[in-house]
Amino acid sequence: MLDIRLIREKPDFVRERLATRGSGDEGKIDEVLRVDTERRKTETALQQLNADRKKLSREIGGKKSRGEATDELEQRVRQIAEEIADLNARAAAAEDEQNNLLLQIANLPHESVPTGEDPSANRVVRTWGEKPGLNEPADHVALGARLNLFDLERAAKLSGSGFICFTGAGAKLERALINFMIDLHTREHDYIEISPPFLVRRDCMIGTTQLPKFEADMYGLEDNQLFLAPTAEVPLTNFHREEILAVADLPKKFVAYTPCFRREAGAAGRETRGIIRVHQFDKVELVKITTPEKSYDELESLTADAERVLQMLGLHYRVLELCTGDLGFGSAKTYDIEVWSPGQNAFLEVSSCSNFEGFQARRMHLRFKDRDGKNRFCHTLNGSGLALPRLFAALIENYQQPDGSVRLPEKLQPYFGAERIGMTNVEEMTK
């Protein structure tokens, strides 16, 4: 959430920056300021009463030890206690209200973010590689069916639409990609591997901004309190929640493979064809916890770390800088990485690398002690490195061969244990 002090001191600036998102959050600022004023007024009065009560109660203690009468004093304190109870309730209500308001207001876009209303204003910052010269390429659904890499009908039988069941060589390829990416990030990019719980508490979901605003998109358990994590961002970023880290230990760099669970009840259509948009998917996630001074450099390097996966796999991609109107709720700046999909004849988002600045850290009380011994909020970042189904789809589409097989990029071969996926694999799988 935003710092209430910033809102208090520079309300016009905050309103102006929020307005660039086009979500109307700037209209909530007056309400926040009103509640904040009310809250502080109440708290000040409450504290005065508490001070009075404390003083009188001590007097009573003194008198009692000397055997003096205290009836009158006790009567007065009783009265004060009633007023305190009343003010206390009001102060707590104001605090709740303020908090609830703040939790619903988006982060301020960084000044470098291009202003714009929708994705058409996103800026392509770079492109890598080029489109493969394929003649009438099959899309991943056709390829997957031909090579028995996944079975969407049977997945639907198990869990409904929007689920994938990888089979045989497909399951193995999924696993090979996971291992390949984790090895790359741990060995060459210095991330610490984490294997976190997939179920997380409500507080963690609030910390990384999935809640309270997007509860409808999340899977929650009946007994409540626990949610299926929609991304490893949640457990990784919350890993140090409510802690005060030493500057010397920053940045913290985590990588994790986890399944991700999302309701996102979108209508069926081209967007949801095949394995492009599903309720459960695998993802390797990168998270960094750092200082305000370094977070933007860390965003660049995190993005580069994610891009490296595509470079090593030899896949054509581009990097977009999202405009203010397309920015996620908690993000101050985001780069999307999109891989080329010959089957869709379009770029597919496989990673979204964001700097949240102190927005998440403030929600989860994640701080560090700076060189002057002062506690300050950390900056948090994350990005996929990468999301698997789309990478999977792009990979088989880009590497499809005229004979119907899929040749695997060299770097992946040791992980998969073969150079290609062909009809031999199919026969093995179906016998």
Q: 322, 337 in Cβ contact below 8 A?
A: no
Of the candidate residues 56, 165, 247, 304, the single one contacting RNA (CB under 7 A): 56
Of the candidate residues 15, 34, 38, 81, the single one contacting RNA (CB under 7 A): 81
Q: How many residues does the chain have?
A: 431
Give least dist CB 108 to RNA, A: 19
Q: Does 199 bind RNA (CB under 7 A)?
A: no
100 contacts: CB under 8 Å, gap ≥ 6: 212
Q: Does 10 bind RNA (CB under 7 A)?
A: no
Burial 184-202 (b: 16+ CB within 10 A, else e): bbeeebebeebebebbbbb
When the beta carbons of 89 and 346 are compared against RNA, the nearer one is 89
Q: 395, 298 in Cβ contact below 8 A?
A: no
Q: Which H or E run includes 186?
A: helix 169-187
CA dihedral 77, 82, 85, 87 (to 10 degrees): -100
Q: Does 345 bind RNA (CB under 7 A)?
A: no
When the beta carbons of 47 and 127 are compared against RNA, the nearer one is 47
Q: Does 74 bind RNA (CB under 7 A)?
A: yes
Give least dist CB 90 to RNA, A: 13
Q: Which H or E run includes 353?
A: strand 346-357
When the beta carbons of 78 and 157 are compared against RNA, the nearer one is 78
When the beta carbons of 10 and 270 are compared against RNA, the nearer one is 10
Q: Does 99 bind RNA (CB under 7 A)?
A: no
* Residues between 366 and 395 that touch RNA (CB under 7 A): 367, 373, 375
Q: Does 48 bind RNA (CB under 7 A)?
A: yes
In angstroms, the Cα distances linking 59 to 48, 71, 78, 130 are 17, 12, 14, 83
Q: Does 123 bind RNA (CB under 7 A)?
A: no
Q: d(Cα 200, Cα 220) in Å, to the nearest integer?
A: 10
Which residue in 330, 37, 316, 313 sits closest to 205, CA to CA?
A: 330
Give least dist CB 203 to RNA, A: 11
Q: Does 61 bind RNA (CB under 7 A)?
A: yes
Residues that bind RNA (CB under 7 A): 4, 40, 43-44, 46-48, 50-51, 53-58, 60-62, 64-65, 74, 77-78, 81, 92, 367, 373, 375
